[in-house]
């Protein structure tokens, strides 16, 4: 499912227009992105939790040449599924 499929499904389920639903979904994604970028945790009970993580610098290998390369530290986004979501998937 891509973003347009999500908009179509939500619009069909709520009865709202696709344009209004698209604006709402964009606003939700912007708020979640902004909050996680600032270091906040976004918790949607029953669905899951979005948070920021950290990956330390490490040494890797170039698969083509086998040469060692330095992989820099990076911030990552973590998603942990909520219990209701896990239960729905594991039915």
59 and 25 inside one domain = no
- Asked whether the beta carbons of 53 and 78 are under 8 A apart, the reply is yes
**pLDDT (0 to 100) of residue 31:** 97
Burial-class residue 21 by CB neighbours within 10 Å (0-12, 13-18, 19+). buried
| Domain total of the chain | 2
34 and 49 inside one domain = no
**pLDDT (0 to 100) of residue 91:** 87
Phi, psi of 22 (to 5 degrees): -60, -40
* pLDDT, mean of residues 74-83: 96
Domain that holds residue 51: 41-91
36 and 49 inside one domain = no
36 and 47 inside one domain = no
Q: Residue 1 has which token pair?
A: 């499912």
Question: Across all residues in the chain, what is the average pLDDT?
Answer: 96
Percent of the chain with pLDDT over 70: 100
């Amino acid at each position: 499912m891509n973003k347009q499929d999500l908009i179509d499904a939500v619009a069909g389920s709520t009865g709202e227009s696709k344009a209004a639903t698209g604006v709402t979904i964009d606003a939700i994604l912007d708020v979640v992105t902004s909050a996680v970028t600032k270091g906040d945790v976004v918790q949607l009970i029953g669905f899951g939790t979005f948070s920021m993580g950290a990956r330390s610098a490490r040494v890797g290998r170039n698969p083509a040449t086998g040469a060692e390369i330095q992989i820099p530290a990076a911030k990552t986004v973590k998603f942990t599924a909520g219990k209701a979501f896990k239960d729905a998937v594991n039915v």
